[in-house]
Structure 1
Amino acid sequence: MTRSTRRTRRILQVAGTATAALLALSACASSGDSAAGSDDSPSSSTSPKLSGTVTVFAAASLKESFTELGKQFEAAHPGTEVTFNFGGSDSLAAGITSGAPADVFAAASPKTMKVVTDAGGASGEPATFVRNQLEIATLPGNPEGIASLKDLTGSGLKVVLCDKEVPCGAAAQKALDASGLELTPVSYEQDVKSALTKVELKEADAALVYKTDVKAAGDKVEGVEFPEASQAVNDYPIVLLKDAPNAEAAQAFIALVQSAEGRQVLTGAGFLQP
């Protein structure tokens, strides 16, 4: 064998070894890519697609903000629908404890939420997500010149309150007690929206309602703040119900309510942060 032949064979051996090494590296890289792909696949499936109806029982004062959040939820989760039952928290609590099918309960006070938790109707501990306080709603332009809580006790003035069993009524009574005032309304209403409607229809001169409801009414009423309202601020708790028909989607809705996006909608409606 000539020296030239031996040199040629050595060159071919080196080239073959290099090619084999490159092929091995390529295989490892391909295997790594495949492993990375398999790692990504489970993470994308950890958030299963939500579907079905979420039924929310919520205090009447949450109507505008929760309706907006319901639309956001449906847009983020195609195939879902959020339905609401708005009303007085005490009536909603009674319905839940009587077996009304619902996924979420958002009350206007811890006292009404306790009715549900004491009956074993909650899944987990309720969480306070917002707070709310009272304001005097008057006719547009405030023709009676109402400037304080004491002004509501004037003779001939038609004032409406929420029923004392309803959170807004309990808060009103607390504010009146704090100021040492007594007030005899022309009617007690079952929820805050009903009380406000009396003023909007000019069936009453004023009503003690939440600031959020005055804001939602726009130019239909005029709001008057009063210092005693700070003595009667209501915490709003929310909870997943124990027998929720659609617990997974319900938990996602509660998460939205408690998120930065949910807080933005709620504070924009006039609610206070917890």
Structure 2
Amino acid sequence: MSKVVLITGGSSGIGKSVGEYLTIKGFKVYGTSRNPKNYTDSKFPIVALDVTKPETISACIAEILKHETRIDVLINNAGAGITGPIEEIPDEEIKRNFETNFFGPINVIKAVLPTMRHQNYGLIINVTSIAGYMGLPYRGVYSASKGALELITEAFRMELKDFNIEMTNIAPGDFATNIAAGRYHAPVLEDSPYKEKYGNTLKTMDEHVDEGNDPKQMAEAIFNVINTKQPKIHYKVGAFMQKFSIVLKRILPDKTYEKLLMKHYDL
């Protein structure tokens, strides 16, 4: 029988690429979007879900279980970018980002766990970010929200061992998607002490996304994880130097690594 896969944020970017790839490979895929009516040409069903609204999560799970007897794989892919000097990002935007990138995935996990526990099987893949392994300048809130999801996955894994439910993280680097367009950008203020350096860093970040890898690489990585009997705790997918930056953070003195980051962003 084909495995049933639920992908949050499956209407565009990495989620869409993963959904299409898994569909071709024979999986029964359900994606989600806040506005599924906008994606009638999707190659797999799109169900309404907003990860910041628990009632829509429950409704989405119930809708899928009307058609399927189980949910084998959950891919927590929905997320949002955010940039800006931490001092200047409004508190409500910081909270909104954590609602999407941290609390949202946790609530989706909580919603599928009863089903997975009942079927005595499940795999949960949390899509985080290489940015979650380090505090990046002018991306600090994003780094923190993704890093929090990485850490809570480690705890969750141990709590779920008795139920034959696996959980893992996949941290992508920069991929050519529309994430920059949907990202919250704190405005570059004329009278801001961060104006010049934040403005330059913003351009650099957008260039990295535009020049990013094909999201099919993420789809292939997720396919391989699904077919792995005992997934690792952490996976990284992206350009060599992006993945190597995590290694450097582990082995270099903190201030040396900080200097490398600042040089990279021309700070």
Q: Identify the structure with bigger relative contact order (alpha carbons < 8 Å, sequence gap 6+).
A: 1
**Alignment TM-score, normalising by the size of structure 2:** 0.27
Structure with the higher fraction of residues in strand conformation: 1
**Alignment TM-score, normalising by the size of structure 1:** 0.27
